[in-house]
Chain A
Amino acid sequence: MNSFALADCSTVEAALSQLKDGAVVKAGGVDLLDRMKNGTDTPARLVNIRNIAALRGIHPTDQGLTIGALTTLAEVADDPTIRSQYTLLADACGHAATPHIRNMATLGGNLLQQLQCWYYRSADFQCLRKGKDICFAFSGLNQYHAIMDYGGCPSVAPSSGAVALLALDASVELTSAARGKRTVAIKDFYVQPDANPHRFHVMADDELLTAIHIPKLAPGTRSAYQKYGEKESHDWAIADAGILLEMDGNICRRAVVAMGAASPVVRRSHEAEAVLTGKPITPETARAAGKASMTNAMPLSMNGYKVQLFPVAIYRTVLLAAGQMDRDPSAAG
């Protein structure tokens, strides 16, 4: 790691005053230290927000639930309210990385982690996302990369928390010293690589992600998230599904099918949702939804297997959400 100065801040206002001259925010530090150890990031100054107590905690509100950005993944996964009402968020946070990383990593940091593409993470490759005009994954090793919506960069959305929060219609609270607070929906938070390959999200350099807001759910809502990976632990998903079903008896009034590891930005499959909406949840409708989710798939040279895996992930997670199947023992999460 390069040598750097560190400004340890104990309040949000103090941290906001330090967001200048290229200073980089550190919360749990897991993703940032990884990039600094790789040599891809060499900040001269870190703003340590890890000890800002006001940014931790899970608070029920009139509108739903507010989660402080520094709440750890373990705290989110273990929270009784989240486990019972927002099950897919507990599932997503409870199976990211490893138990010890979940004790350190924050929900805000999970949402802001950068791409896990091995070319992007290597200091030896200067790619499209680093300001050059080439992507090495298209003609190189791309077995974990995107199968849809990728444009010029097929690295996949790395945050499992974002998959769950997209399905929940959640939003993030961004705070700056100059402009105060604003709220951005998760669906509008991430930037498609073709829109701007040098930005991952719409947060400005002088803003801090301070909270996550989740609206109240309709009665009869059930949800689940499952992640499939090469290893049971630590790995990011190669296929994952966040499913939210608003049930009226056995009829699904509204379905949300969210996916992370298919595309550079977390996405909903409106094709799969259309299959489920207005119908009973059965193995047949769940299977049809999985199949419909791959309508726009354009796999790369090494990831055609994902076109088979995603429908299975969606089929099983729909049935898990509906209470018709136990957690899949072959799922990594």
Chain B
Amino acid sequence: MSQHQTPPKDLPEAPSTALTPAGITRRGFLKGAGITAAGTALIEGVQVFQREAVAAAPQNVKEFGPEPFPVTLQINGKAHALQIEPRTTLAEALRIQLNMTGTKVSCDRGVCSSCTVWLDKMPVNSCMTLAIDAVGHHVTTIEGISAADEMHPVQAAFVRHDALQCGFCTPGMVMSCAALLEKNPHPTEADVRYAVSGNLCRCGTYPKVFAATLDAAGQLASKA
């Protein structure tokens, strides 16, 4: 895995069709011009291009990539600065770049929901969410669902009810069940079934997931 820890450096250049004069970026131009030109001609060229770019650049459009660019993601209450490409998914940013491997990737197509994280407390598939679309939102992962080493009530209930077998779907399952309790503290079994209807468990441990989530809801209600 170590070769995946840093973004690849040998990225292909953007296809020429993507770089129209209106869309050219200063960084992209300087990078290209640095190879082919030097001296005062370059300086003048930059100024001309800058003026044109400003005049032609539509308002309310921000250009990104295809090269890596810096962003800050708010994850589990903490700001993380990292470099991403436009194509980097949130799951890849979490697992490969930030080493937060609690979020699992199984299908990588939004079918199984093992990659479930919260965007502002709303459960989504991090494999089908571009990391850039998480900028400006609060991301919560399985690592941040509870404080320090304490278990979230849903996690504790999963342990009590033995609600996992191979465990690969469990982080996503817990995120879906905990999101349900955030929205609906008194769910019925039908509500739990609906909430995890996108979470595939190949071992078939659903009955215990339902029992654990209803138990966690009861525990939270008795504390409230």
- List residues of chain A with CB under 8 Å of any chain B CB: 1-11, 13-14, 17-18, 20-22, 29-30, 33-34, 36-37, 44-46, 48, 50-51, 97-101, 103-104, 232-234
**Interface contact B123-A99, CB-CB below 8 Å:** yes
**Number of cross-chain contacts by CB at 8 Å:** 123
Q: CA separation between A65 and B109, bound complex, in Å?
A: 33
Q: Does B219 contact A (CB under 8 A)?
A: no
Q: Told that A34-B109, A99-B123, A99-B194 touch, could you supply 20 new A-B pairs with CB distance under 8 A?
A: A3-B11, A4-B18, A4-B86, A5-B14, A5-B23, A6-B132, A9-B60, A9-B61, A20-B20, A30-B110, A33-B128, A34-B110, A37-B108, A48-B133, A50-B133, A51-B133, A99-B176, A101-B125, A104-B128, A233-B197
Q: A21-B17, A21-B20, A29-B133 known; A5 and B125 CB under 8 Å?
A: no
Q: CA separation between A12 and B35, bound complex, in Å?
A: 37
Q: A11-B60, A103-B122 known; A1 and B87 CB under 8 Å?
A: yes
Q: Does B205 contact A (CB under 8 A)?
A: no
Partner-contacting stretch, out of B37-45, B63-71, B156-164: B63-71
**Interface contact B198-A98, CB-CB below 8 Å:** yes
Distance in Å: Cβ of B46 to nearest Cβ of chain A: 20
Q: CA separation between A3 and B67, bound complex, in Å?
A: 8
Q: Does B195 contact A (CB under 8 A)?
A: yes
Q: CA separation between A21 and B15, bound complex, in Å?
A: 11
Q: CA separation between A3 and B87, bound complex, in Å?
A: 6
How many residues of B are counted as interface, with CB atoms below 8 angstroms from the partner's CB atoms? 41
Q: Which residues of A sit under 8 angstroms from B98, Cβ to Cβ?
A: none
Q: CA separation between A232 and B198, bound complex, in Å?
A: 9
**Interface contact A104-B125, CB-CB below 8 Å:** yes
Residue B63 contacts which of A7, A22, A51, A101 (CB distance < 8 angstroms)?
Answer: A7
Q: Does B58 contact A (CB under 8 A)?
A: yes
**Interface contact B125-A100, CB-CB below 8 Å:** yes
Q: CA separation between A1 and B87, bound complex, in Å?
A: 7
B197: nearest chain-A partner, CB-CB: A233
Q: CA separation between A211 and B200, bound complex, in Å?
A: 33
Q: CA separation between A104 and B115, bound complex, in Å?
A: 14
Contacting residues of chain B (92-123) with chain A, CB-CB under 8 angstroms: 108-111, 113, 116, 122-123
Residue A100 contacts which of B17, B20, B61, B124 (CB distance < 8 angstroms)?
Answer: B124
Interchain residue pairs with CB less than 8 A apart (17): A3-B87, A5-B63, A7-B23, A7-B62, A8-B62, A8-B64, A9-B60, A9-B61, A13-B58, A13-B60, A21-B17, A98-B197, A99-B123, A101-B198, A104-B128, A232-B197, A234-B111
B119: nearest chain-A partner, CB-CB: A103
Q: Which residues of B sit under 8 angstroms from A103, Cβ to Cβ?
A: 122-124
Residue B197 contacts which of A10, A20, A44, A99 (CB distance < 8 angstroms)?
Answer: A99
Q: A3-B85, A21-B17 known; A98 and B110 CB under 8 Å?
A: yes
A1: nearest chain-B partner, CB-CB: B87
Q: Which residues of A sit under 8 angstroms from B65, Cβ to Cβ?
A: 3-6
**Interface contact B198-A14, CB-CB below 8 Å:** no
Q: CA separation between A8 and B14, bound complex, in Å?
A: 17
Residue of B122, B176, B197 most packed against chain A (CB within 10 A): B197
Q: CA separation between A98 and B132, bound complex, in Å?
A: 23
Q: Which residues of B sit under 8 angstroms from A22, Cβ to Cβ?
A: 17
Q: Which residues of A sit under 8 angstroms from B109, Cβ to Cβ?
A: 34, 37
Q: CA separation between A10 and B63, bound complex, in Å?
A: 12
